[in-house]
Amino acid sequence: MKFNSRPAVALVSLSLAAVALAGCSEEASGGGNDEAGSSGACKPADVKLVGQVRNESNPYEAAWLDGGDAFAKSVDLSQERLTYDGDSTKQQEQVSQLLAGDTECLVMNILPNGDSDTPPIVEQAQEAGAYLVTQWNKPADLNVADYDHWVSHITYNGVESGKQIGDALSEAIGGSGGIIALQGILDTGAAKDRFAGLEESLAANPDVKLLDEQTANFSRQEALEVTKTLLTKHGDDVKGIWAANDDMALGALEALKQAGKEGEVAVVGIDAVPDALTAIEDGSMTATVSSDGPWQGGIGLAIGYCVATGELSMDDVADEDRAWFAEQFLIEKDNVAEFMTPATDEADFDCDNVFSRSQGAIS
């Protein structure tokens, strides 16, 4: 079963959200920003918006920050763009520096480097009274509802997306043959869940054999080198390459090109970055899944902004919206055109509608 197709967010069209967010008025309601209160009374002009991802060399993460910029512009603010180069220590230092300043109206939309990096970020934000939205990575036993300034955690059903691209890969190679898998950063829920999804796909397609799997840490360059090594090791037995993100899939495509195997091996990934969409359109790549990076960059800030200004009260945030799966979309050649010319619904960023893409609570 495919996800319902829906175009990804266009960066230029995020600015349309200004109309929808006009309801987040300067006369915000709700309590003050003290230790006991979580709904804010910030004037919109006083809100500070911060987006933090690993790096901008990853096109998905760059698109995330671009989406944050577009949202910020729509509410006449700017976003501070932070990157930590996949270095957990650097991430924690950046967060500590942020929280050592004026935190009364600080809104942070953060991609923790790994599951273990989330708890200290949450604890610091809670103590400082900053408004925090995290995405992708958190320990399963860390409960968002235990904190009143950790507004929301957004992730995607990685098991399902990993299986989706695994099934697409199986179909592309005719239901049988050898594949290799490129795993992401192993201390992340995304990497773990996506690989579990591949394992489910392999169980459902018993004639597809996993020849080898190695981590390439979500990196295009690492994937290039790992793929070259695995192609040398397994040769013509490799009929398909499963990659836990598009950056690694694109590295694999380059390795295939260098090996003279371009177009001979099916490749799948996740993230729907522009280069991957182009590769699907021209037939060199089979499938990807969109988690809509620009929307992620905008929605995390929108949720925090609406709570900080008091337009959205924490009392009105349902339990299932504290930690939730967001909608994602399988993209193949038959529907890639929809995502090459994306559109967005300006109501996505309305303070009354920021959870509209929820697919349910994380169990």
16, two tokens: 């349309």
Q: Report the share of the chain in percent with pLDDT over 70.
A: 88
Structural domain count, the chain: 2
Instruction: Compute CA distances 80 → 40, 51, 246, 262, whole Å.
Output: 20, 6, 26, 40
Residue-level pLDDT at 363 = 76
Residue 95 lies in a domain: yes
Q: What is the mean pLDDT of the chain?
A: 89
Segment 48-61 mean pLDDT: 94
CB atoms within 10 A of CB 337: 13
Q: Is pLDDT of 207 > 50?
A: yes
Under 8 Å between Cβ of 266 and 173 = yes
Residue 96 lies in a domain: yes
The separation between CA 72 and the C-alpha centre of its own chain, rounded to angstroms, equals 19
Q: Is pLDDT of 280 > 50?
A: yes
Residue 321 lies in a domain: yes
Residue 336 lies in a domain: no
pLDDT band at 341 (very low <50, low <70, confident <90, very high): low
Q: Is pLDDT of 165 > 80?
A: yes
Distance CA 35, CA 49 (A): 20
CB under 8 A, 24+ apart: contacts of 27-35? 28/309, 28/310, 28/311, 29/310, 29/311, 29/313, 30/310, 30/313, 33/104, 33/105, 33/129, 33/308, 34/129, 35/129
Under 8 Å between Cβ of 246 and 274 = no
CA atoms within a 13 Å half-sphere pointing along the CA-CB vector of 260? 3
Under 8 Å between Cβ of 339 and 7 = yes
Residue-level pLDDT at 39 = 72
pLDDT band at 328 (very low <50, low <70, confident <90, very high): very high
> 83 with 148, same domain?
yes
Distance CA 168, CA 172 (A): 6
What length does the chain have?
Answer: 363
What burial letters (b/e) apply to 338-354, b meaning 16+ CB within 10 Å?
ebeebebbbebbbbeeb
> 97 with 140, same domain?
yes
> 114 with 197, same domain?
no
Residue 332 lies in a domain: no
Residue 73 amino acid letter: K
Distance CA 107, CA 301 (A): 7
Out of 19-33, 165-179, 227-241, least confident range? 19-33
pTM attached to this predicted model: 0.80
Distance CA 41, CA 167 (A): 49
Segment 83-88 mean pLDDT: 96
> 229 with 184, same domain?
yes
Under 8 Å between Cβ of 138 and 170 = no
Q: Is pLDDT of 23 > 80?
A: no
Residue 340 lies in a domain: no
> 86 with 128, same domain?
yes
CB atoms within 10 A of CB 106: 26
Residue-level pLDDT at 18 = 37
CATH number of the domain bearing residue 349: 3.40.50.2300
Residue-level pLDDT at 343 = 53
Residue 337 lies in a domain: no
Out of 71-75, 125-129, 258-262, 297-301, least confident range? 71-75
> 16 with 165, same domain?
no
Out of 23-32, 123-132, 136-145, 203-212, least confident range? 23-32
> 276 with 320, same domain?
no
Residue-level pLDDT at 347 = 72
Under 8 Å between Cβ of 351 and 321 = no
What lies within 8 Å, CB to CB, of 127 at 6+ separation is 99
245, two tokens: 């993100």
> 86 with 106, same domain?
yes
> 53 with 152, same domain?
yes
| Residue at a domain's end among 290, 305, 336 | 290
Question: pLDDT per residue over 94-116, tens digit each?
Answer: 999 999 999 999 999 999 999 99
> 50 with 129, same domain?
yes
Q: Is pLDDT of 14 > 60?
A: no
Residue 144 amino acid letter: V
Q: Which residue has the higher pLDDT, 302 or 10?
A: 302
Q: Is pLDDT of 34 > 50?
A: no
Residue-level pLDDT at 349 = 85
Residues of the domain holding 145: 2-156+294-326+345-361
Helix (H) or strand (E) holding 116: none
> 180 with 282, same domain?
yes
Residue 194 lies in a domain: yes
> 136 with 13, same domain?
yes
Q: Is pLDDT of 240 > 60?
A: yes
Segment 111-129 mean pLDDT: 97
